[in-house]
Every structure is written in C-alpha cells, then in structure tokens.
Amino acid sequence: MSALSPRAGRFDQAMKILLIKPPLNPRLFIFNHDEPLELEYLAAAVKGHQVEILDMRIDKNLSRKMETFKPDFVGITSYTCDVRVAKEILREVKKYDRRIQTAIGGHHATLLPFDFALPFVDVIFMGMSDFSFPQYIQEVDNGGHPERVNNIALVKNGDLIFTEQVPLEPNLDLLPMPARHLTLPYRRHYCDFMKSKTGLIVTSRGCPFRCTFCACWKIMNGKYFTRSPESIVEEYAALPEDIELVCFADDNTLHHKSRILRFIELTKQRRLKKRFMMYARADSIVKNPDLIESLRDIGLEYLLVGVESFRDDELDRLNKKTSVQTNNQAIRILQKLGVGISPHLIVDPNYTKKDFKELFQYVCDIDLLRPVFAVLTPLPGTELYDQYFDQLVINNYDYFDFAHSIFPTKLSRKEFYGEYANLYRKSYSFKRYFKNKLKELALLLGKNGDSHPRNPDRISFFQMFLFYVYAFPLYVRMKNSYKSEPILPSKIASVF
C-alpha cells in the first residue's frame, strides 16, 4: 500500500482508489443490473491515480479485492435501501486496514448524513460530488487540508464537521466521459429485464418539479441543470458497440424541447442508429407528440412515465402537477405512435380492496401491459418523509424498497400484501395476454374503427412463460411480506 510520507504527509505514489457499488438489497422484487454510472464519472475525475470499481452486485468478494488491490481510499455509493450493507462494507474495510480512508456518498448520505457519523467512516460527500471528490483526493494526496473542500462532512469522534456548503452552478459539459473501461469485466451483466445489454446516459441533474414523494429535486437544492445536445451526442456516439439499449437515466430528459430537437438533428447528421429509452412526464408527451414521433424515428423504444395515480385527488396530494386526463392522453399518444410505455403507479397504504380493484380496472381500461406498482414510500429528504415521520411503523432502511409499506395500512398487513401481489398477478396474467391478442386480431381484421398499431408493450408468449417461471416465487414472497416485517415495537399495537 502507498504510505503517507512522514515528512510531508503525502502519498509517495499515485493513490489507489477503490469505488464500490453495494450488493443488491435481497428484498428487492424488481431490479435492473445497470452500469454504476455514478462511479464511472467519479473515476474519470481523478486522472493520475489508480482507480478500480468493484460492482458487488456481481462480484461479492470484497476480501479478495482488498488483498489484490490494497487500496488507499475506498468510497461507496448508497440509496436508502442499501444503507445497512454499505455500512457493513466500510466496517470490513477498516477491519482490513484502519489507515484506509473511507467515504460514502449518494442520495441517502446527502439527505441524512448523520446516519454515517460512525468510527469506520472518514468523509461524507453530499449532493453532486463530481467536483468535490477530485478536490478531496487532491488535498489528501498532497497532504493538504480536506476541510477546504466544499459540500462534504468530515467524521470526527462520532460527530460531523461540515465544510462550507456552497450552492452548485455546474457546467455539466465540463464533466469527463465516464470511465466505462473500469467496468468491462462486468459489462455482460448490465441488462434490463428483457436481457437487452444496456448502457446509461444522464443528460441533466436535479428536477424543476416538486413532487412530495421524490428526493431528486432535493438532492440539487431545487435546481435543474442540463447538458448541451452536442455533449450528449458525443457520449451517445462513444458508447460500447455491444450495447443494445441506451437508457437515458435522468427524470426529465424531455423537459426542454429545443434541446431534444437539436439532439435528434445531431443524431441524424452522424447517422447514429441505436435503440433507447427515456423518462418522460405525461404533460411533456401531450405537449409534444411530434417530438415523440421524431424520437421514435431515430430509435426510441419506450418511455418510462410516472403515471402515479388514476385519481386526480391523489395526484394533487403528490403535487404531481398533472391530471388523469393528461395521463390518459399521453398513454394514447404513445400507443398510437407505437412507442412502448413503462407506466409507474403508486399504491397508497390506505387502499382498501375496492381501491385495488379500481386500480386494476384502470390498468385494463387504458390497456397498460407492463405496469410497475410501487408502494408509496417516504424516502428521507422528501416532503412526505418530513410531514409524516411520526407515522412510520418501520424504520429499517432495508424495507425502503417501494415494495413494503413503511406506513400503517388500512387493510390488515396480510390483506394488503395479498392484494398487492394479486395486482401484479392479474396484470401479467395469461388471461390478459390472450384478451389483448384477440383485440389486436380484431383490429387487424378491421372489426372496429381503431387504427392503432400492435401494442408495442405486449411480449411474446415464450417471454410470458419465462416471466411466470421467474415471477412465481417472487409472487409468493411478496404475498407473505407481512410475516417478516420489522414493525417498531411502539407501533405493533396500532398495526395489528
């Protein structure tokens, strides 16, 4: 291992930096193996040092990596549901060698940094660390003063020393290209549910909207920053050739129409032919159907749309700033254009059996074939979390996974998870599959005036069969979730 110089307090050679993506939370029901883009960005920002990335979703052998690489610095990223395992990993690193500098960043560390005021954590990176991380490494490498680095917290004797918190005004075009070569050993594992090899691009940071359930806008202090179309296309063109589906991973890629029109123009000029998906708000789709059509023509496969609810009053409570009518219009536009849709809907813990029935009926009426149902989850930092903190019945972060109810449920816990599991079972049933096939056949034969093309979201019968084989044990586990929930002792009487 590089040693600190006893005279200058600096490393005698380039630092060895290990960046870790933690293992998947075993309680997750739905997940994709996407590349750890956040770590690839950070790795690219510290040129001149020896950097490796350990993706523990794929390679869980931390001790082997520590022995072979012998890092000077170990950093890990963490969502809320990863907090426990992230702490365990940093504890193991310090056990291996207490001289190793340890750090954590990501959503949870930004919003609840005191959760990491621990003896095996040295520094916490808050917010967008693309700039603070290389500055910190430079200070440590030069034997300087880490407290000069803005927007971090240094852990000292169980307490946090916050450096100056400076609002960011980043020029995202100045960020280096992600160091994707560092994840080459794992790349064949990066794929979506349909086993398409995926690659990620982020075109913006933050969010201009203020949904009560979302922490995205809180991370960037309510600000929204975008990359230029030229910068996006440069990275788009440079993606590895074997990537089958490019995932634009920011929440509001389509927010600025002029930017996307320029992206389309540049993509056509360079004759780039790739399949891709994006996130989009329903109102952006309704305002710009021509834009969606143009994106489809250059490879848009599907859009992930936060439909959230089938009721206007629920959308208002979530501060979504849209309506059921707008959602329905957006869905019809995508169906007419032959663009797939991954609609995300929120399941309220206060739902009754009638509510579950009406939600499923909405999914059928609007012809959503690949719905994703997320239990309303109060992520730390969100307005939902702050407003209803005293109502939480679970505070174990492992369960903040959008598939467990952190709040009390109106139904019994057993009934709630039974209805939740059945929502998936019925939505992906063979009955719905064949009913949709017959509907398409009727359209093909001209038995009604609907001219919509084949629903792009319908999967093949073989894929449907494989889905059932894969999903059945998940269905059983979901239905029995109530049996293993760590309900707070003070809340047990009210829950049961």
Q: From the CB of residue 405, how many other CB atoms can be counted at a distance below 10 Å?
A: 26
pLDDT of residue 458: 64
Which has the minimum average pLDDT: 57-66, 118-127, 138-147, 305-314?
138-147
104 and 201 inside one domain: no
pLDDT of residue 9: 45
- CATH number of the domain where residue 90 is located: 3.40.50.2300
Last residue of a domain, one of 109, 142, 162: 162
pLDDT of residue 248: 97
Domain assignment present for residue 181? The answer is no
245-257 residues labelled b (16+ CB within 10 A) or e (exposed): bbbbbbbbbbbbe
Domain assignment present for residue 167? The answer is no
Burial class (CB in 10 A: 0-12, 13-18, 19+), 273: exposed
Domain assignment present for residue 489? The answer is no
Last residue of a domain, one of 114, 135, 162: 162
pLDDT of residue 12: 58
Read off the pLDDT of residues 167-194 as tens digits, 9 standing for 90 and up: 888 999 999 999 999 999 999 999 988 8
147 and 207 inside one domain: no
Cα distances from 212 to residues 80, 138, 378, in angstroms, run: 17, 38, 9
- CATH number of the domain where residue 242 is located: 3.80.30.20
Q: From the CB of residue 398, how many other CB atoms can be counted at a distance below 10 Å?
A: 18
Q: What mean pLDDT comes out for the span 383-403?
A: 95
Cα distances from 448 to residues 331, 404, 440, 442, 455, in angstroms, run: 20, 42, 11, 7, 16
Taking each helix axis from N to C end, the angle separating 413-427 and 353-365, rounded to the nearest 10 degrees, works out to: 10
CA distance 64 to 176: 30
CA distance 458 to 434: 10
CA distance 213 to 224: 18
239 and 91 inside one domain: no
Structure tokens at 453: 């093309």
233 and 280 inside one domain: yes
Residue 490 has pLDDT above 60, yes or no: yes
Domain assignment present for residue 111? The answer is yes
Domain assignment present for residue 180? The answer is no
pLDDT of residue 472: 86
Structure tokens at 170: 């980043």
Q: What mean pLDDT comes out for the span 450-472?
A: 70
pLDDT of residue 493: 72
**pLDDT-based confidence at residue 331 (cuts at 50, 70, 90):** very high
| Structural domain count, the chain | 2
Last residue of a domain, one of 113, 141, 162: 162
What is the residue-averaged pLDDT of the chain? 91
CA distance 45 to 88: 26
157 and 216 inside one domain: no
256 and 377 inside one domain: yes
227 and 318 inside one domain: yes
238 and 355 inside one domain: yes
Name the nearest CA neighbour of 348 among 304, 408, 278, 291.
408
261 and 310 inside one domain: yes
Q: Which residues have C-beta within 8 Å of that of residue 372, sequence separation ≥ 6?
A: 30, 342, 343, 344, 345
Which DSSP letter does residue 33 get? Answer: B
Angle, vertex CA 377, rays to CA 374 and CA 379, nearest 5: 130
153 and 228 inside one domain: no
Percent of the chain exceeding pLDDT 70 equals 95
Read off the pLDDT of residues 2-34 as tens digits, 9 standing for 90 and up: 333 332 344 557 899 999 999 998 888 777 789
Q: For residue 147, give its domain range.
A: 16-162
What pTM does this model have? Answer: 0.92
